[in-house]
């Protein structure tokens, strides 16, 4: 898999984790139970997100930041030739190619980064 694509997936995972941390009402109840206070956890996560974002190539980074601002997910899986970000078919030539995850591809319809899982 393309190293930049791995980074993107890692980043997306951390964004989801961040969302979960922020939305979890349970965390407010007994903060002293946790080894890490939610605020600290968020700060650490933010720092890591920033660090990983810095490691993206400039063009990938620009697109990633733009996508993250407007969409829930900047990276979408492709299953059976369908982009799961927008549910529109991607060109079949791509999805049947070997090593298709070794390069950066984006959905022609929604612009999300794609990774193939089937
Ligand atoms: Zn799409």
Domain count for the chain, please give it.
1
pLDDT value of position 41: 84
Instruction: Write the pLDDT tens digit of every residue in 36-63.
Output: 777 788 899 999 999 999 999 999 999 9
Cα 80 to middle of ligand 1, angstroms:
13
Tell me the residue range of the domain where 109 lies. Answer: 3-116
Cα 93 to middle of ligand 1, angstroms:
16
Cα 110 to middle of ligand 1, angstroms:
4
Cα 49 to middle of ligand 1, angstroms:
24
Place of tokens 């990633």: 64
The CATH number of the domain holding residue 54 is 1.10.287.1490
Instruction: Write the pLDDT tens digit of every residue in 91-114.
Output: 766 656 678 899 899 999 999 999
Q: Do 32 and 24 touch, CB atoms closer than 8 A? A: no
Average pLDDT, rounded, for the chain: 87
Give the residue-averaged pLDDT of 5-21. Answer: 92
């Amino acid at each position: 898999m393309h190293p930049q694509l791995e980074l993107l997936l890692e980043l997306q995972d951390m964004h989801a984790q961040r969302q979960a941390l922020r939305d979890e009402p349970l965390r407010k109840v007994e903060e002293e139970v946790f080894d890490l206070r939610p605020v600290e956890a968020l700060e650490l996560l933010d720092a890591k997100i920033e660090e990983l974002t810095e490691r993206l190539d400039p063009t990938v980074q620009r697109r990633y930041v733009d996508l993250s601002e407007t969409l829930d997910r900047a990276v979408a899986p492709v299953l059976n030739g369908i982009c799961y970000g927008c549910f529109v078919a991607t060109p079949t030539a791509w999805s049947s190619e070997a090593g298709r995850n070794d390069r950066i591809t984006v959905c022609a319809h929604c612009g999300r980064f794609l990774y193939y899982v089937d």
